[in-house]
Structure 1
Amino acid sequence: MFDIGFWEIALISVVGLIVLGPERLPTAIRSVMQWINTAKNMANSVKSEISQELKLHELNEMNDNMIKASKEGVEILDDDMQASIDEMKKNAQELVNPYKKESKPTADETGSNKQQASEQQDKK
C-alpha cells in the first residue's frame, strides 16, 4: 500500500523510540494502528456503497427495459388478438346469416326474366 520496506520501518521505530521513549511508544503504536484501521474501514465501506449503488442502478435499468419490453409485447399481442376477434366475428356472422348475402342474378336469369316480362306484356 505505502511501499515501505524493512529498513524504513526500522528507521521509523528507532526515531519513535528516541523521541517518545520506551514508556509511551507502545501507546503511540496502538493509536496509529487504530487510525489506520479506521481509515481502511472507511475506505472499504465507501467502496462497498459505491458498488451497491452501481448494482442498484444496473438493476433499475434492467427493470425499466423489462417493463418497456413487456408493454410492447402486450401491445403487439392486443393487436393480434383484436385481429383474431374480428375474424371470428366475421365467420360467426357468416354462419348465422348465410342466406342474407345479396346474390346477383346470372345472365340466364336476367334473360329469362326479360322474356317472361315481354310475354306478360304481350298477353295484355
Structure 2
Amino acid sequence: MNFKAFSQKFADTIGGKYNDYDDDHSIFIIPIKNDRFQTVIARLVRIDNQDAEVVHITSKVCEVSESIDYPAILEASADFKLSSFIVEDGFLKVDSAILLKSVDEAFIEQAIVELANLADEWELKITGKDIY
C-alpha cells in the first residue's frame, strides 16, 4: 500500500485535511458533526520478524488529570469495536491497531472515521470543548 497516496485520497474523499509527516505517518483533521474537528494520527508499523504491517491509529481526548473517571471510561471501552483508551505522553487517547493484510482501504477509512468520532465524543464528555 502506498500510504501517502491512500492518505491524500482519503482526506479528499471525506472533506478533511491531510498532512504527511513522512512516508509512514499521516496526520488527518477529520470533520465531525456540529462543525467540530478531530485530529487523528495514522502510521504504518512493521512487525519485527514477520512479513506484516499494522496501521496504528490514535487521537487525543484530553490531558490526563485526577478528575477523569477512569473506571467509567474503561468500562465504556468494553463496548468499543475496534478501539480502546490508552494513556500516553500525559494524554488520554483513543487507539486502534489494524493488521493491514487482513483488510482493504475502505475498512481503514471507516476505522479512522470511527476512531475520530469516538475520541471527539469523549473529548466533549470530559472537557466540554473541541480541543484536538
Q: TM-score, normalised by structure 2?
A: 0.23
- Structure with bigger strand share is 2
Higher helix share: 1
What's the TM-score once normalised by structure 1's chain length? 0.24
Higher relative contact order (CA 8 A, sep 6+): 2
